[in-house]
Amino acid sequence: MKKLGFFALLAAVLAGCATLDTSSLDWIPIGPEFSPTKVQDLEVIASAQEIKRAYGNIGLLRVKNLKPDREVLKMGVERGKKFAASKGADAILLGQYNSASDGAQDPRVTLIIYAIKYLDTVNDKDLKAMEDFEVLGILNERNED
């Protein structure tokens, strides 16, 4: 009986992982990349009103095609945290779109994650990179890799 319980738990975990593997990430840079930050130091914010420090938005991340299941969504947030930390974010602001609200037969969730860089954590080199990023965007000369 214990083996059956173990296999049922293993199947549930693998099903959750498979669901996350079918998701996709879209990254839209809004600012330059910074040195990576530690995932465990990244703040998770649910509302812009919670942000009490001056900040810049360095990018928008969409984790798409997630099942509307609590565990799958938590894994999606963790995936988003890792990605945002790799771009140097200090915090992420979470949002979501649920296709069920549009009457989808097989609803999916898209996590909408803003990668935030607090301005009091940047140095002069970073400020210059932010200014250059803005100017290149205005001139339509930004390189997209």
Say which CATH number the domain at 41 has.
3.30.110.70
Nearest 5°: phi and psi at 26?
-120, 130
Question: Is residue 29 situated within a structural domain?
Answer: yes
pLDDT (0 to 100) of residue 9: 43
Alpha-carbon gap, residue 97 to 74, rounded angstroms: 15
pLDDT at 125: 85
Residue 144 belongs to some domain of the structure:
no
Q: Is residue 145 part of a domain?
A: no
Establish if 70 belongs to a structural domain.
yes
In the chain (145 residues long), the average pLDDT of successive 10-residue segments reads 45 48 83 92 94 92 93 95 97 89 84 94 84 71 54
Its pTM stands at 0.74
Q: How far is residue 112's CA from residue 96's CA, in Å, rounded to a whole number?
A: 5
- Structural domain count, the chain: 1
**Domain containing residue 24:** 2-138
Measured in degrees and rounded to the nearest 5, phi and psi for residue 44 equal -110, 120
> Are the CB atoms for 135 and 104 separated by under 8 Å?
no
